[in-house]
Amino acid sequence: MSTLLTTRGAATGGAQPKTAIAGLSVAALTAAVFSLSAGLVHFVYVPDHWWIWAPYGVAFLTAGLLQTALAGLLVARRVGPVIALGGIAMNLCIIGVYAVSRTQYGAPFGPMRGHAELPGVVDMATTLGEFVTVIALLSFLPRRLGRFVTTLLLLAGGYLWWLRITNRLAY
């Protein structure tokens, strides 16, 4: 680790290192910003999905509430390993449903079941933000658990690529 991150050297005039804003770590701030933005996007699309099928609307409302609550917990510094794992699982589930609904298999449930949706700029950016949130939340896990979860994520990603390369996962 560099001395800039570990000490308050004379070169910085005794000031805090620039690794945090308002006392939040970079990981906490990153996860909070992207989780809040994803939650707000889900709130915006509640009416559109409610109109199609009420459980779709409830799913979007729930995702918005949970992602916004996670952002609030991150800013309040109330995130430990259990909440981080929950946030990781939640975002991966949302990413999974999004990814499947954009393939030839379409939405996994409801009246749109089996009908693929076209990906849009907003939903792709939101999904990327959810993935960034997952990566940032890994830093809240104990080192050994973080390595284990990271390994699982890499294996799952490799498996998905293998499915795609072998045309078992097509869109």
> Which alpha helices (DSSP H) does the chain contain, by range?
3-6, 26-44, 46-52, 54-75, 81-101, 121-137, 143-165
pLDDT recorded at residue 92: 97
User: How far is 139 from 31, CA to CA, in rounded Å?
Assistant: 10
pLDDT recorded at residue 8: 39
| Max CA distance (Å), the chain | 64
pLDDT recorded at residue 1: 41
Pair of tokens at residue 171: 């869109």
Cβ–Cβ < 8 Å for 56, 110: yes
Q: For every one of its 171 residues, what pLDDT tens digit does the chain have, with 9 covering 90 and above?
A: 443 333 334 444 444 445 567 789 999 999 999 999 999 999 999 999 999 999 999 999 999 999 999 999 999 999 999 999 999 999 999 999 999 898 888 999 999 999 999 999 999 999 999 999 999 999 999 999 999 999 999 999 999 899 888 887 665
User: How far is 23 from 29, CA to CA, in rounded Å?
Assistant: 10
User: How far is 95 from 100, CA to CA, in rounded Å?
Assistant: 9
User: How far is 124 from 15, CA to CA, in rounded Å?
Assistant: 39
pLDDT recorded at residue 171: 55
